[in-house]
Chain A
């Protein structure tokens, strides 16, 4: 018996590429027939098509490498284990180091919100006493700028981390690597949106002196909190872990409260700590992000893997990194976000895409699990069907379906996980990101939220580099 004879016994179910006539003929006869909405691969770009074809002989190797990277990602188990001071915890950190979101960038190229945040951090660190001094210091060449990502961390929006700031420490207990992220400051005039007034600096000081130490004690008492399990649960509670963190913040309070109560904290501080976390629905974002980061870092550096392990923006450029290409960045211009603006703002007020929070999409949550968060779809300007379509489409460009993050609306199907640069280029489907919009001027804050894609250029550059690296 050959495979042909096995076909003879079966019900014919067809997939069609090309004319719809044949598909319609079969559908009319009641034969299951699916039409593929085909477009020329790589948008007909000959250079990219050649690069794709040149990878064909490596298919088995790439698949094995992607499986390896994907398995590493899937088996990573990030636990929230500690809070430490940036200077102590982050390797190579100095008093004059400023970490920022996205790919590397010089002061001169930074956008408004990132500049403001840098200035605020310099004032907070006592390296400048006012705005003018901060600006001079920022441009002086004395400050070392470095992406959070290159130090094993992530930061939302401007993503600024300076020496004195406390950071959450997540340890991936499967592979031993760690990830960090600052504590979320809340909404309104905050450093991550580039605000640097006294109120901002005072709040940072309070986070450093009171909130950080209190949570540190409670986390230590808890013996560690499994963040992967918590993220999995929030997807079943209407969050997607990027733009909606209501359930996550609630779950975190539930998990940490008993330990906070036992941590021996002054009553008045305790009240303020609870009120602070409770008043900020995005408190959990600074935990879901490093959770994703710790797992993705475990997947980075697998030779021959085409899996994307970083997507990040600095407000000027969008950058990606690919497992098989180590720590190289592939960048393109940061895009404008399409969505809903808060009253009083127009699109002209918005800054281009900024922040490391696209790490959530890289890990298969955020917009990739947007179908799970119907409550925010209107916020990002769409219907529940749109959200499902966005999440659904991502399965075409990913390596696998998450074993842990599942979408109730898709009958608990695992979310699309592990972006493959080849598929992105071949199909012309860009990863979907849903994100907040920062004002283009420092310190104004969030002006809206919506949907954005990375520039295609990042993936095209990465693919060409990949072919140059591996095709001999």
Chain B
């Protein structure tokens, strides 16, 4: 038996605590004897009796802590001594019943040391300070706040990168990590498709459709909408991409973003080329050739991206692009039937930013310029986002609408008034909507929308017009909102439902294009 004795002079510990530690230590593998006790005469005798009465034990006084350990080998000895030290520095949490919320991140970390992810949605002015502290405490971070300065974002992402941590966000609050949906995210079947995206609702649409098409996700990482700007340089996109390449549970990688800044594109394409896993990339409104030259598959809209990813994940042959999806002609005809001659335009009212982007891209192919508050082409910027003109698509989640109020996905009431406003406009033919389900979103978005849709349709009818309302639901059957119930409420209100946002946009365009 190898014996080692440590004396901690004048270190008082309660005897019951020490007995418990001794017992625990004795049960460790390789340990033959373990006595941790105060150096009273009685205790010293006990230690001598088990063959560990070294001179240092005899010399110890009643206020000295004796740690005496006997083990089969030096390795076990070293291990058990470390364990004793650990046990002496009690990290036990406060007694039950004292459930007071910590006042600070540090307090939370100290009280819950197993924490590994901070979700921060504080006002932007304060968020950066807390994110830095979270990263310094080795927590991954999901930053939901808006109004975080670009400079802060760059600094914090560099810090996250240096520490091997995720900093998801700001401004794109979606992720599914280890199958846990975070912030705005849907309940998607587990699978082998990893998603990294600088887009919030784009990611939700793709993951929901992956689920619908029979696939599943391994990890879904939202990098924040500005990650691929030149200033940020795609720090998180690159780190997340590398992590998905390394991840044994991921077989196929999906990348979704607006076109990255020039220097950033090269970095991402370079990393994509080096990685061995098949990829589907959708740069909204971007160049598909560069994607294909980098050996990846280009998606041509969100639904197409999901379909291709599922095909790759199931090792099925890739079909052709799924871009010219059109609804059944009968449905188009039905929606056109009551339109008055002056009804010429689509008015899209979106709660999801990327869904709005996708709708603009799709409709402008058929209809020409779409005016918006979030335009790709500055010539078509709405002079006043409170008033629509010609074909208009509004992102109600844009900062102009969210100052001092929650995001419209949480509280969609801001859309209701606008819906009636558009209905009163004799030039409006179609109102195009998104209904986003999942965690974070309103518990019953269709229920809020339905009565107002009815009212809008009635209002138009009263003035001799037919108002067409087209929508799609972004969600899965396992989302906390009841998908079928949401569907039924919309259909009951007379909404023409498409089963993907791209289809809804194409349907809306088709109604006015052929009817006008």
Contact = CB atoms under 8 A, between A and B. Distances in A.
Interface centre among A11, A12, A14, A395 (most CB of B within 10 A): A14
B103 A39 contact: yes
Contacts of B164: 2-4, 6
Given A17-B118, A36-B105, A410 B129 contact: no
Given A22-B440, A39-B103, A12 B177 contact: yes
Interface in A397-428: 401, 403-404, 406, 408-414, 423, 426-428
A86 B109 CA distance: 47
A396 interface: yes
Contact of B90 (A28, A40, A409, A414): A414
B29 interface: no
B101 A388 contact: no
B97 A385 contact: yes
Contacts of A21: 410, 440
A367 to B, nearest CB: 15
A428 B178 CA distance: 36
Nearest to B249: A8
Nearest to A173: B10
Nearest to B240: A4
Given A5-B246, A15-B108, A37 B90 contact: no
Contacts of A395: 107, 110-111
Interface in A117-147: none
B242 A36 contact: no
Contact of A228 (B10, B163, B178): B10
Contact of B140 (A7, A232, A408): A7
B324 interface: no
Contacts of A14: 115-119
Contacts of B94: 388, 392, 410-411, 413
Contacts of B242: 2
A399 to B, nearest CB: 11
A10 B10 CA distance: 41
A22 B164 CA distance: 24
A461 interface: no
Interface string B131-144: 00010001110001
B106 interface: yes
Interface string B247-284: 10100000000000000000000000000000000000
B514 interface: no
A41 interface: yes
Q: How large is the interface on A (under 10, 10 to 19, 20 to 34, 35 or more residues)?
A: 35 or more
A148 B101 CA distance: 39
Interface string A208-230: 00000000000000000010110
B89 interface: yes
Given A8-B247, A396-B107, A31 B180 contact: yes
A401 B94 CA distance: 13
A58 interface: no
A406 B65 CA distance: 15
A8 B116 CA distance: 11
A12 B98 contact: no
26 contacts: A4-B164, A4-B165, A7-B166, A8-B247, A12-B178, A12-B180, A13-B112, A14-B116, A16-B119, A22-B144, A23-B119, A34-B112, A228-B12, A229-B63, A393-B100, A395-B111, A396-B107, A404-B12, A406-B13, A406-B14, A409-B95, A410-B92, A411-B92, A412-B14, A414-B90, A427-B103
Interface of A: 1-8, 10-19, 21-23, 25-26, 28-29, 31-32, 34-41, 53, 77, 226, 228-229, 232-233, 236, 385, 388-389, 392-393, 395-396, 401, 403-404, 406, 408-414, 423, 426-429
6 smallest CB-CB distances across A and B, nearest first, come from A3-B164, A18-B121, A411-B92, A4-B243, A37-B101, A232-B12
Interface of B: 10-14, 17, 63, 89-95, 97-98, 100-112, 114-122, 126, 129-130, 134, 138-140, 144-145, 163-166, 177-178, 180-183, 219, 239-240, 242-243, 246-247, 249, 410, 439-440, 480
